[in-house]
Structure 1
Amino acid sequence: MLKKLKFYFIGLVPGLLIVFFILNQKGTSCSYFPNDRVIAETLTKDFTYTDSFKKEMELNKISEQFLKDSIIAKGEIDFDRSKPQNEPCPEYLLLYPKNNPRIEVNYSKCKETAEFTSLKKLK
């Protein structure tokens, strides 16, 4: 039995290392959690903004790049206050940062676009 386990691990460890390095080079990521999947899908969409959202971005000095790279990419979806079952466009509430949120973003994620409707700075 010990001999079988030894052979098993001799094959398993190098195999895991090979798979890890191949996937790491391709830039793939495993996002199985609902929060990660919604955020990954959102980042692939074309972004549209309502006028009120644009004004709030200007008032809070938030650039589109910062919105994509930090707020959305590192945010947390509040599924209790979101409406992911809405048809045709689910609505989500995103909080940034994950711990001690200071920014709240409402948006709807359609097939082709993500429409950002409100941005609120929390105290």
Structure 2
Amino acid sequence: MKFIHRFAYYLVGLVMGVFFVSLVFSGKDTRCNYFPNARVLNDLRNKPFHYSEKASQILAESWIDTSDVKNTLQFGDVVFDKSNVVVKKGKLYVIEGKTLKNQEIILQVINYENRAVLDDIIKVKKE
């Protein structure tokens, strides 16, 4: 069989394969969260999110906003040395991030089975 015929068969199979794969994954909300940091942040974002009284008081201040919290839950780094501690029948996760004004913050989020609660927001002082 000539090279051109083999190449044509290859292209036909490739196109059909891409078509079927796109059909399978087109309507699904698929994510590839292989690393622990991405898994934890994805789990916290997908649960109903609540704020404790202390966190609500801090959010009332002018230096931080709920968009900063959402950005930290999207792009932050989980500190696993201080995280995964059982607190109030849930697991505490410490997440480092930044506000839109480039202020470093630390979020303490308690992850329950059916919800996530922002327990505290700590403003990191620059030295």
* TM-score w.r.t. length of structure 2: 0.69
| Matching residue's letter, 1:92 | Y
Q: 2:38 aligns with which of 36, 39, 42?
A: 36
Q: How far apart are the structure 2 equivalents of 1:101 and 1:110?
A: 28
Q: 1:62 aligns with which of 62, 65, 71?
A: 65
- Structure 1 unaligned segments of length 5 or more: list them: 1-5
Conserved 8 A contact 2:52-2:117: yes
Partner of 1:76: 77
Conserved 8 A contact 2:48-2:116: yes
**CA shift in 2, pair 1:105/1:17, >3 Å:** farther
Partner of 2:3: none
Q: 1:105 aligns with which of 94, 104, 107?
A: 107
Partner of 2:4: none
**CA shift in 2, pair 1:13/1:104, >3 Å:** farther
Per-residue deviation, 1:14: 7.2
Partner of 1:115: 117
Per-residue deviation, 1:101: 7.5
Q: How far apart are the structure 2 equivalents of 1:46 and 1:72?
A: 13
Q: Equivalent pairs: percent with the same residue?
A: 25
Q: How far apart are the structure 2 equivalents of 1:20 and 1:103?
A: 40
1:19 aligns with 2:38: no
* TM-score w.r.t. length of structure 1: 0.71
- Structure 2 unaligned segments of length 5 or more: list them: 1-6
Q: How far apart are the structure 1 equivalents of 2:24 and 2:105?
A: 37
Q: Computing the radius of gyration over CA atoms, which structure comes out larger, 1 or 2?
A: 2
Aligned residues: 115
Residues 4-42 of structure 1 deviation map (CA, whole Å, 9 limit, x = unaligned): xx9xx8667974686368536634210011111111111
